[in-house]
Amino acid sequence: MRKRLLLVVALVLVVLLTVFISFNIKKLPFRAPFKTSNNTSASALVARASELEAMGNLVEANAIYQQLINEFTNSAEVANWQKKAQDCNIKILFSSIVTPKCVVYTIKPGDSLAKIAREFKTTPELLMKSNNISGDKIFVGRKIRVWNAPFNILVDKSQNILILKSDEDIIKTYVVSTGANNSTPVGTFKIVNKLSHPTWFKAGAVVEPGSPENILGSRWLGISLPGYGIHGTTEPASLGKQATKGCVRMANPEVEELYAIVPEGTEVVVID
């Protein structure tokens, strides 16, 4: 009888202890199983992309920045990742890295940079930059990297941006100025001439290159509508606004970059 009583008491104690433990567990703060957060994952990817950039693995770094943009769409860092991805694009363009948009060309007797550029619809400047060539001298038998995919330009007047594409892939987005009172013409055009350090012929005067009054800046890319083009500026504070007489105005370092990349014949589409 005594043993049976002790057993009942023990069972009651076990039940009471179980209830007590269960109650106090419910009162503890909730702790989810350890899981890498989005921020931590993004940080790890950014660190890896930076490491790859430093090693010169620009294609892989670019792919990681694109992954960040696609997977962390609500992050405040998206614009920064887009800039880093586009910086990688320009570095790849100006490097000897061979991508699916490139061919390897062996220089032949009678070749010149201008001739090769015409054949592949690229620019001598891009050939020089991507193959570390200084001057016009080239050597027969040397293999060079040639960008073989066509470029095209989209100017969006509503946002005052110029988008450089290769096929349908966005290479870089630039902030520009377009025409005051929406005066930049819309339509599809082509680049028909290119000038380095252009002279500005304005009514009643000729303004020499380099003059602070020369509003064309350091480069001119004329389009197939007489009098209109893409050019540099002496007024960088106006970028991002409708401020020109109809042309597309860029910062000088950026128009110089664009000038080196796109050849005559490049399509330019302007939209409202």
Q: Percentage of the chain surpassing pLDDT 90? A: 80
Assess if residue 24 is contained within a domain. Answer: no
Same domain membership, residue 195 and residue 119:
no
Q: What is the pLDDT of residue 40?
A: 56
Query: How far is 20 from 53, CA to CA, in rounded Å?
Result: 57
Q: What are phi and psi of 56, to 5 degrees?
A: 90, 10
Q: What is the DSSP letter of 56?
A: T
For residue 27, pLDDT over 60 is answered with no
Q: What is the pLDDT of residue 78?
A: 96
For the segment 127-153, the average pLDDT, to the nearest whole number, is 95
Query: How far is 214 from 201, CA to CA, in rounded Å?
Result: 9
Among 75, 93, 111, the domain boundary falls at: 93
For residue 17, pLDDT over 80 is answered with no
Assess if residue 20 is contained within a domain. Answer: no
For the segment 42-49, the average pLDDT, to the nearest whole number, is 94
- The answer to whether the CB of 28 falls within 8 A of the CB of 55 is no
Q: What is the pLDDT of residue 14?
A: 42
Q: What is the pLDDT of residue 202?
A: 82
For the segment 260-266, the average pLDDT, to the nearest whole number, is 98
The residue that leads in pLDDT, 136 or 96, is: 96
The CATH number given to whatever domain includes residue 206 is 2.40.440.10
Assess if residue 33 is contained within a domain. Answer: no
The CATH number given to whatever domain includes residue 107 is 3.10.350.10
Assess if residue 2 is contained within a domain. Answer: no
**pLDDT tier at 39 (50, 70, 90 boundaries)?**
low
**187-219 pLDDT per residue, tens:** 999 999 999 999 998 877 899 998 888 999 999
Q: What is the span of the domain harbouring residue 61?
A: 38-93
Per the structure, how many domains does the chain have? Answer: 3
**152-187 pLDDT per residue, tens:** 999 999 999 999 999 989 999 999 999 999 999 999
Q: What is the pLDDT of residue 122?
A: 97
Query: What residues act catalytically?
Result: 231, 247
Average pLDDT along the chain = 87
Same domain membership, residue 233 and residue 126:
no
Assess if residue 179 is contained within a domain. Answer: yes
**Identity at 128, one-letter amino acid code:** M
Same domain membership, residue 85 and residue 59:
yes
For residue 36, pLDDT over 70 is answered with no
Assess if residue 207 is contained within a domain. Answer: yes
**63-80 pLDDT per residue, tens:** 999 999 999 999 999 999
For the segment 140-151, the average pLDDT, to the nearest whole number, is 97
Same domain membership, residue 171 and residue 111:
no
**79-120 pLDDT per residue, tens:** 999 999 999 999 999 999 999 999 999 999 999 999 999 999
Q: What is the pLDDT of residue 226?
A: 95
Assess if residue 16 is contained within a domain. Answer: no
Same domain membership, residue 177 and residue 159:
yes
**pLDDT tier at 11 (50, 70, 90 boundaries)?**
very low
137 by Cβ neighbours in 10 Å (0-12 / 13-18 / 19+) ranks as exposed
Q: What are phi and psi of 169, to 5 degrees?
A: -85, 130
Same domain membership, residue 136 and residue 156:
no
For residue 55, pLDDT over 50 is answered with yes
Closest among 228, 238, 233, 201 to 216, alpha carbons compared: 233
Same domain membership, residue 174 and residue 239:
yes
Same domain membership, residue 159 and residue 143:
no
Same domain membership, residue 52 and residue 113:
no
Assess if residue 217 is contained within a domain. Answer: yes
For residue 15, pLDDT over 50 is answered with no
Closest among 242, 230, 271 to 181, alpha carbons compared: 242
